[in-house]
Amino acid sequence: MSELSVNHLLGIKYLTKQDINLIFETADQFKEVINRPIKKVPSLRDITIANLFFENSTRTKLSFELAEKRLSADVINFSASQSSVKKGETLIDTVNNILSMKVDMVVMRHPNPGAGVFLSKHVNASIINAGDGAHEHPTQALLDSYSIREKLGTVKGKNVVIVGDILHSRVALSNIYALQLLGANVMVCGPKTLLPKYIKDLGVKVETNLKKALEWCDVANMLRVQNERMDISYFPSTREYTQQFGVNKELLDSLDKEIVIMHPGPINRGVEITSDVADSKQAIILNQVENGVAVRMAVIYLLASKIKQ
């Protein structure tokens, strides 16, 4: 069997297609494991993992922690709001202090883009980027692609539209890289103010009419409106955003086909999608959550296998 070409998961940009396929094949086996009566395997019993969350997170942190525990790793958790970061400690000092406790792997979320790359050059541990600012969120993109593969059989050749706040979204960027690597056709759709100026350079189609985008696609990945990242007013009102870029049952029924609806969560119900869409058969939002644990187990397992004894 091949192994991952990287020692850290810093972004999809650094992975090959073979890496992603290996992660998916391993996740298939972990998905079977997490549906057993006893959902735990002993593989990582000699590995210690630190979850360093310099930015708030609920589902990603829980998903990583569950994945680590199901692999029998020892887990320590850190959140910046309750730490010496508030007292002025630098990132490297914080991490080195934690690594002195014989930590083998670091899962890090950080508000600054590139924080994971920076850390990987300065510390001797395997780094997993759990989201760095508006840059990348590789495990989310992996689980999204994995969920499309599970639902439609393959990612190759599928039309996927990412709808919403592309400008502030690390999920969008990682998804674009992953989907393109796996052979999907990618479109972004949203208000012009939330589409980055050079987005076409990534080889994606751009659309500002949601109906047209939905008519084109097999899968619609609805992004959350990230009010906390909006330093100016990018659209007149939430109500207007919903009218133009929200998906409701009526809109879906008006299409001549059934499309798959995804959302990385947390959902603003009634904004990006209505409740009846979120809870419909077409939505695979809860499958994404389940697959997140299996995919993260696969990533951690494969990276851990490269840590020298």
Give contact residues for another protein (rule: CB under 8 A). 1-3, 25-26, 28-30, 32-33, 36-44, 46, 71, 301-302, 304-305, 307, 309
Non-local CB neighbours of 286 within 8 Å, separated by 6+ positions: none
Nearer to another protein, 41 or 152 (CB): 41
**Residue closer to another protein (CB basis): 27 or 194:** 27
Helix (H) or strand (E) holding 161: strand 159-163
d(Cα 20, Cα 13) in Å, to the nearest integer? 11
The dihedrals phi and psi of 74, each to the nearest 5 degrees, come to: -85, 140
**Contact (Cβ atoms closer than 8 angstroms) between residue 50 and residue 76:** yes
Residue 37 vs 236, nearer CB to another protein: 37
Least Å distance, CB 31 to another protein, is 11
Nearest approach in angstroms of CB 43 to another protein is 5
By beta-carbon proximity to another protein, the closer residue of 230 and 307 is: 307
- Residue 181, CA distances (Å) to 12, 146, 157, 165, 268 in order: 9, 13, 11, 22, 30
How far apart are CB 105 and another protein at their closest, in Å? 12
Residue nearer to another protein on the CB measure, 46 or 258: 46
Q: How far is the CB of 156 from another protein (least distance, A)?
A: 22
Q: How far apart are CA 117 and CA 104, in angstroms?
A: 17
**Residue 28: CB minimum distance to another protein, A:** 8
Q: Is 136 helix (H, G, I), strand (E, B) or coil?
A: coil
